[in-house]
Each structure stands twice: as structure tokens, then as C-alpha cells.
Structure 1
Amino acid sequence: MVETAAAPGPDQMEQGESLIGLYMPQSASPYAFDVPLHEWPPAEQVLVLLLYVQAEGIGGLARLPRLPDLAGQTPDVFDTGPHAQKAPDEAVQAVRDALEADTLDDLRGGLIIGDPGKLRRSYDRKNGSRPTQIRFALASCQYPSDFLDHMPNGEHATRGPADASLLALADLLGESGAPTLLLLAGDQVYIDATAGLFDPKVTDDRFRMAYERRGQSRGVMAVTQRLNLVVETMLDDHEIRDNWANDPDPKMRGKDTDFKAGTQAYLKYQRGKTGRLPAHLWRNFTHDGVPFFLSDTRTEREGRTALNCHKAKIMGPKQFDELCAWLTKPEYAELPKFVLTPSAILPRRREVAGHSSCALHSDAWDGYPRSFHALLKFLCDKEVERVVFLSGDEHLCNVVTARVTNCITEKQCTLHSVHSSGLYAPYPFANGVPDNFQADETFLFPNSMSGPYCCEVRTSFVSGDGFALIAADRSQSGWHLNVGFYGASGLKENGSFPRELG
């Protein structure tokens, strides 16, 4: 049960009379519920207070169980005794007490920003118009904070390093032309933050506590508790275990408790879904009329050994086929197409570029050459244009422009890749550096000695924590892409990269 109140200012928390309405969960999940926007209070800020249902005597306000439907009564019949009669009054008093006694710091976790009546999109398909622009943010890798680097609860407290990037993004959300979509490319939590040294030993605690810790972050609250920002996520390895991959031994698959617990925690805390695992995690959607495909390059990857690494796939055949079909949809032909892939497609790691036998040492697409080459081949043969791959994981900003050519048919395609740095990646030994990658190269595939495909790669790097702001605009000459890499202090030096999409 949720009570909503028009949020008062920091000096007006005593206005308990601002109670507006009562909303009950409509979703099958107990962790998510939908409130139609037209029913949402028309206010710039709304405070949501959760009233927990507890057994009598446990603490707080108790609510008696429903009576059994034995005599034709509806299941909504409640006990009418003294407890039930005074329960509504006590509930109202509990809300009033919270608004009168608690500060904004205490209540911030329930503060929702944004007036539904002022939500605007640049594209309205109802009037037959075509998309002309898109604004969104890309981020990845939020290492957890501790008492040394988190931001205190005080309203005007100094920003802690762990929250600085997300708070900088929150500052931009109130400006003109702000992004209306945030893509999180994985590693939103680190289940293995201390490599097992101080991590909880009970499986449920390891996942639950990591997500609860994330939810209490000032930066996460500032960005995600907004009506004017859609947040879409995909998981990567640290939601499960560092460098997780399926066991190469088929007999051991299905016995990995970390995989099941990690995937269920991701679905529960990031997507509001509980129960049995779905058939797949990948999905696609449109935002402002522009198509996005969120691919799963983690849970479907095949286990690798030195004997099979050149045949192993980074995603299942059904997902790969769906991605290819999506890339060639006629209605998307003239639009930019954004593919979120937590594992970077380019640039290749230097050791892999040096010798293909090193593929086993890469966790990205170049470590799965069968899938890597098949995707580049498909894009080239179908001459797919205006494709932008989005990724995270390496803790290093980069922008890639690549041209793939079939040396026999002379078919070509140009693709772009944007890789966001970590939002907070404090350990240098875990962060990628430009020297780890073959920034500019030309390579042949399916093997290094012959084509018939040739891929020319050009890469630009930017260092430091932060996120990417991506804008695509359409003019008479075609679509134009602009990528800006931001840190806690704003746009990074030499952090803006324009590209032509055609």
C-alpha cells in the first residue's frame, strides 16, 4: 500500500495535510506497481510513503488477515473488531508523524521528481511525424561505496566520489535538451566487491545486501527517482560473479547457484520481476521513435576451453537471429539503430589482434571470434547502416568507427561503437587503459591470412570515471551523431566526438 503526498519544501515538512491519494499494487510482482500517469498528483515533486503490512505485535501498525470466503462473502471482507476500526486512523497518524518529524534527508528515498503534465517527447507517432532526434545517457560499472567515499545524508553535504558521476548526471536532467533515457550496460552492483574477503557468505545476503546498498546511494536516488527519465538495464558479470561464464562441462550447467541467484536478483531489483526466470533477458524497444536492442552477452555465452574457443558463441542462436532480423527491419532502414551490448564489440584487445590463439583471454566479442565475425559479416552483406553499438565493462571511454568491406562483392557498411567508462571505478588495476587495445588497425577475417572480409578500425579514448551523453539529430543531409563524455565536473577535456551516420 502506498500513500502519496505532494512533496513540501525542506522547511515545510510539517504539512501532513498534503496527503493526496492511495494506490494499490496492480502488478503481479510485490516489488513493482503501476500508477497511471493521469492519476499521478500534478506536482513537481511527490513523496511516496510505504505502509508495510505486518502481523500484530511485530511492530508498527498491524493489519489483520482477510476472512476466508466461506459464506459467499467477497475476499475483501476484513475483521470489523476494535483493531480494524482504529487501523485507518492509526495509518493516517503514522503518515502525519512521518511528515512532521522526519527531515528531507529521512524521506528522500520516497521522493519522485517530475510532473506528468509537463512530460514531453520530441516525436509523436500519432500525428504521422518521423523521428528527428534522440537524447540519452549511457553508463556502466558502479563500484559500491564505503564510509570513506559515500555521500552523507545531509542535503548540502559534500559529494562523495562514489556518487559524483550520477549526481552530475542528475544536474543535467533539469536542463534544456536533457536525456530522457538512461541505459545501464551492466555491473550496476558488485556482488564480489572484496573478492570474497569481506563479502557476505550467505548467498541470499550477498545479492540482497548489494542491491540494498545500491538503492541507498544518493546518486542512484537522484537519477532513478524521476518521471522524466526512462531507465533500462542489462546485467553483466559482476551481478553474478567476476568474469562469469557458463561452465564448459555441460554436466555442470544448471548447478551454478550464483547464476540463478544473481539473475533472479537482477530481475527483482532492476526490472521488478519475480518468480521463475524468463526464457531470455534480451529485448528491444523504441524511445522517441528510435529503435534500441538490449542484447544479453553474458548469460547465454558458451563455456570456453582452448579446444573450442574459436567455435564458442557469445549469445544463443535465437537471440542472434532476432538481432539480425531487427537490424534489417524495413521500418528502421532510415533510422539510427542502437544496440546495447555489455561486452564491447570493438576495439580488439592487443593480444587478440597479435594472434588469434589469444581469444580465450578476452571477455569481449573478440574472445568469441565465431560470433564476432558472423555479426560483422551480416552487417556487411546486408549493407546495414546507421548502427551504433553501446557498451561498458572496460572502465575506459572510447568511440570507434569501423568500415567492413567484402573484398569480393565490394559491399560495405560503416558501424560505430560507444564505450562508457565506469560511473565509479576506483581501482586502477581493474581499469582498462588505451595500451590494452589495438586502437587503429585493419584486419581480415574469417582468418588473418585471407578475407574475404576486411575491417578498418579507428578508435579515440578518454580517461576517467563518468558517463556518456549521446545525441542523434536528423537534418536534410542525414543523421548526425554526437557523443560527449562527462565526469563529475562536466564535459571532459577533448570529450566530444561528432560522427556522421548518413
Structure 2
Amino acid sequence: MLKPTVGPIIGHTTTNHARIFIRGELQKNLQVFAGLRYRASNTTQWSNALLIKLDESRDLSDVFILNDLQEDTEYEFQTGWFCPMSPVHTVDSVAELPLQWPRELYRLRTRCNKPLQARAYILGSCRYLRLTAGVPILPLLGDRIFTSINQLIEGAQPPISATVMSGDQIYADDLNLIAPDRSYKDILCKYRAAFSQPGIQRLMSGTSTYMILDDHEIEDNWPANADAADAADDELYRNAMAAYELYQVSHSPAYALTTNGQLDHASLEHYWYQFSEGDIEWFVTDTRTRRNLSGDEPRILDEAQEQALCNWLINSAARVKFVVTSVMFFPDRQLNGDDAWQGFAQQRLRLLETVRTHSIKNVVVVSGDVHGSLTSRLSHSEDADFEIHTVVSSPLCNSKLLPYAKASTFVLDQPLVRTAAGDYSHELTSEVISEDNFAHMVVEADHILINYHDRDGKQLQSIAIKLR
């Protein structure tokens, strides 16, 4: 059995369930199978082997589902792929073979449902990895920050529950004006290269990773730059989404399980999803593929997603509610801000009014996109009980051709929006970081601590958000 060519990627994990993505490789037109076995750490008895036949239609990748796990328990697992010589093997018949497992052990920890327990997360977005002819150029630059994240995770207390990547995990367009990636084959190649670099591979093989796309998984400022009458743009979108579903969505909660506890490949209805841990809940929005730019009121979320988000905000009993949006919720930009929530003012106001009129506490918006990191606070002139915080973490690795955001990038000297019921005004609660960075966020009983670190792991600043 050989090590995965991509992965393992630990995805959605609950108190009793985990999803693990791996990819194999085609060899001499033989059938390809993948296997995984696991056990609670410090025990000796392995589970029965989980086996999957890998298919070229899924780029020889798939997701193992681990069910009936114990809460707040560390497990270790081995996984890999193999090609039996006989062309007539099935999943049942290869189970009888004496498999030689790869020696490497990976570890995961199931969730704990205890309330008020401190929990920690890694936040980041916008990871640029330049490829030429399918080969990474200076790959250490695009992977360097993940080595620093791994070093922080090793000694982190509380332990890191998950990494949340809020967009632009790849740059499919890659600023390549000569031959931008548009084919399915080329975009798959980009994912394989991006997710198999040693630093990010180590991170995702040991920590649950949740992802949502932004524009560069397709094309810069998609869909504003798309031509509805252009068949090539339609083909680009289909190719980009097919690759995205394999490498980012497949191990997320967006897919349902079948009645026998396996991944239901036919169940994907939308890319937005929710997950939770104890008294902390997350709503990860899709602010890219359900946009409607026509009509009197442009929408960044489709109607069903907006309604689901509002219902969750109103009805969830979570102590802290994190809303992930790949583009900035606030503050607005001085220039070219219409790609973010600034361009969808009516829908944004409806969400703000939902939070304010229902007196919803401890709402924090997590985003990326702007190639600068910051925290900010939104208040209301006539409602002292209202506040929403944003935590922005971007970029993990910038291109030298793209500028970093600065404080002067944002509109900070006037209210975000004026209404008859009062003004929504915002302020920065941190400095704006204008370099490659990631955020280490710790949710305590009475506050959230956000520590920003540079690509070498050095702490840049620390911000505390008081919980109510």
C-alpha cells in the first residue's frame, strides 16, 4: 500500500464522526483501491479495514467515513492506496488480501460537547502558489506559512479544533495572462500541487479543515467578469466547480450521508453549510456561486441561503455564532468594493436588522479576500445593546503582483449605513496587517482572543473581544 498522493485531509469531525479525504494514482490501467484503518490512541486493536474503489471520474479520490467514534477521544489511523494485479477484484475481495499498511500514523480528535470550554481555531485565506506547466514555482514560498502553523499547533493549549480557510485556497486563474487554467485537467493539477505541499499536507492530515470558495477558485471577480453568452465561461465554471467539489466540498458537511453511514455523492444541494462544537456554532456562507447581479436588488446570497442564515441567527442557542463569508462584510473599501458586501447593501442591512431587532449576542463575522488582516466592531447609534465583530485573516501567501491592504484601503470616517432608526457605525479594533499572516483564535468563557502571526510564526498583535 502506498501513501496518498494528496491527503489525508481530515474534514468534518463531530463527537462521533469524521470524514477523511485521500487520493491515489493510476498505474498501468489497473484498478485502484484505497484503505484506512483506525484505533483509539494507546490501544492495540485496529478496526476492520475500510476499503474504497477509487474512480478516475473523481480524480482517483474519495472520502472515508468513520462512524460510531467516542466523544473527545484521540484516534490514530493509517491510510493508503494500492493496485491489485488481478483485474477482477472488488471491494469485498480485496478485503481478503494481506495488506501492507504505510507506516505513517495520523491522528485526529473527536469533538467535546461541554459548554464554556476553551476552544481554538486557525483562520486563513488567499494562498497563492504559482504554477508553470503544472509545476510549482518556488513552492517553499507558498507553503512556508503552514510550517509555522504546524509549529504553533504542536504546543497549543487549548488544542486546535479546526482550521477554517475562507477562500482562494487555490488561484485557478493564477494571473497567467498567456494561458490561464480553464480546463478540468489543469484545475485538478492545481489542486493536487497546492494540497500536496509538505506544510499544508501535514496541517490538513492532523487537524480538521473546513473550506469555502472565493473567486480565484474560478476566476477573478467571478461572476462579474463572466459572459453569460460565452460557452467558454460556462465550461470554465463547470470545470472549476467539479474540481472544487472533489477537493474542498467532499470532506465538508455539505454532503449528507446515506442510511448506512457512507457519503451520499448525490446529496449535494448547495455549498454553504453549518458545523458546531459545544456551545459554538458556525455558518459558512457561499457568497460567490449564488450571486444575482441583475434586477433592482443584487444579491450576494440566494434567497434560500439568506433565509437559512437568518433562521439560524434567530433560533440557534449557541453562545457564540461565527458567520464565515469569503468577502468582507465590513468595513467597506475606498475603491472597488462592490465585489464584497458593500455592493449588496440592502441584503446586508436586512442581516444587520435581524441581529439588532432580535437582540442576538456574540455574532462574529470571519472573512478574508482583501490581502490584509484586521478586526473591527460595528455598533448602532440608537441601540447600545447591538454589536457585531469582524475577524479578517488574509493572505496566507500573497503574490508580489498584488498589493496588501492598509488602513487607508477602508472607509472609516463615516457610518457604514444610515437608516431612519439610526446609524450603523464601525471602527477598527486592531491595526491592519499588511503582510502574509494567519490568525490563531481562542474562544474563552468570557472573551475571544485573536493572535495574528507572520509567516515565520512571530506574533504580530493580539486582540481581545469581550463576550456578552
Shift of 1:24: 1.1
Q: Relative to structure 1, is the Cα distance of residues 133 and 438 closer, same or farther in structure 2, using a 3 angstrom cutoff?
A: same
- Which runs of structure 2 are paired with 1:239-388 in the superposition (5 Å)? 239-245=217-223, 256-272=234-250, 278-303=268-293, 311-329=297-315, 331-332=317-318, 335-351=319-335, 361-388=337-364
Give the 5 Å matches for 1:431-446: 431-446=404-419
Measure how far apart 1:412 and its partner are.
Answer: 4.4
Structure 1 residue 301: deviation in Å? 1.0
Shift of 1:211: 0.7
Contact (CA 8 Å) 2:405, 2:434: kept in 1 or not?
no
Query: SS of 1:280's equivalent?
Result: coil
- TM-fit CA distance, 1:196: 3.9
Distance 1:386 1:348 in 2: 21
State the AA in 2 paired with 1:207: I
**Structure 1 CA distance, aligned partners of 2:321 and 2:281?**
6
**Paired amino acid for 2:462:** S
Deviation at 1:456, TM superposition (A): 1.6
Judge conservation of contact 1:297–1:341 (CA < 8 Å) in 2: yes
Contact 2:404 2:434 in 1 (8 A): no
Cα contact 1:247–1:253 (8 A) shared by 2: no
In the TM superposition, what whole-angstrom CA distance separates every residue of 1:317-341 from its partner, at most 9, and x where no partner exists? 1111111111111523xx0110001
Structure 1 residues 463, 248: closer, same or farther in 2, change over 3 A? closer
Relative to structure 1, the CA distance from residue 248 to residue 19 in structure 2 (aligned partners, 3 Å threshold; closer, same or farther) is closer
1:113-262 superposed matches below 5 A: 113-114=106-107, 119=109, 121=111, 123-124=113-114, 130-145=115-130, 148-150=137-139, 160-175=140-155, 176-200=157-181, 203-226=183-206, 229-245=207-223, 256-262=234-240
Segments of structure 2 that go 5 or more residues without pairing to the other structure are 1-32, 39-44, 256-263
**CA–CA separation in structure 1 for the residues paired with 2:112 and 2:49:** 32
Please give the alpha-carbon distance, in whole angstroms, between the structure 2 residues aligned to 1:322 and 1:22: 38
Residue pair 1:187, 1:236 contacting (<8 A) in 2 also: yes
Task: Please give the alpha-carbon distance, in whole angstroms, between the structure 2 residues aligned to 1:339 and 1:404.
Answer: 19
Are the structure 2 counterparts of residues 205 and 52 from structure 1 closer, same or farther at C-alpha, using a change threshold of 3 Å?
A: same
Choose between structure 1 and 2: higher helix proportion: 1
Distance 1:62 1:198, change over 3 A: farther
- Alpha carbons of 1:199 and 1:472: their partners in 2 closer, same or farther (altered >3 Å)? same
Higher radius of gyration, 1 or 2: 1
The separation in 1 between residues aligned to 2:463 and 2:364, in whole angstroms, is 14
Higher relative contact order (CA 8 A, sep 6+): 2
Alignment deviations for residues 377-427 of structure 1 (CA, whole Å, 9 cap, x no partner): 22222222200000011110010111024x4xx474100000001111132
C-alpha displacement of 1:120: 6.5
Letter of the 1:388 counterpart: V
* Inter-partner Cα distance in structure 2 for 1:43 and 1:337: 26
CA shift, 1:256, in A, is: 1.7
Q: Percent identity?
A: 20
For each residue in 1:324-383, what CA deviation from the matched residue of structure 2 results, as whole angstroms up to 9, or x when unmatched?
111111523xx01100010110111124xxxxxxxx752110111121222222222222
Q: Is the 8 Å Cα contact of residues 372 and 392 (structure 2) preserved in structure 1?
A: yes
CA contact (8 A) 1:134 1:288 kept: no
Superposed, which structure 2 residues align to 1:424-463 within 5 Å? 424-446=397-419, 451-459=420-428, 460=430, 461-463=432-434
Distance (Å, rounded) in 2 between the aligned partners of 1:207 and 1:249: 20
CA distance in 1, matches of 2:82, 2:416: 60
Asked whether the 8 Å contact 1:2–1:22 carries over to 2, the reply is no
Matched, 1:420 2:423: no
RMSD of the TM alignment (CA)? 3.6
Distance in 2, matches of 1:236 and 1:311, equals 21
- For 1:381-400, list aligned pairs within 5 A: 381-400=357-376
Closer, same or farther: CA 252–376 of 1 in aligned 2, 3 Å:
farther
Number of paired residues? 406
| 1:213–1:501 CA distance, 2 compared to 1 (3 A) | same
1:482 paired residue number: 449
Contact 1:468 1:486 in 2 (8 A): yes
Q: 1:313 to 1:456 in 2, by over 3 A?
A: same
After TM superposition, the score normalised by the length of structure 2 is 0.76
Q: How far apart are residue 174 of structure 1 and its match?
A: 1.8
- Cα–Cα, structure 1 residues 277 and 213, in superposed 2: closer, same or farther, change >3 Å? farther
Deviations 1:100-157 (A, max 9, x none): xxxxxxxxxxx4522x6xx365543xxxxx333221111111111455522xxxxxxx
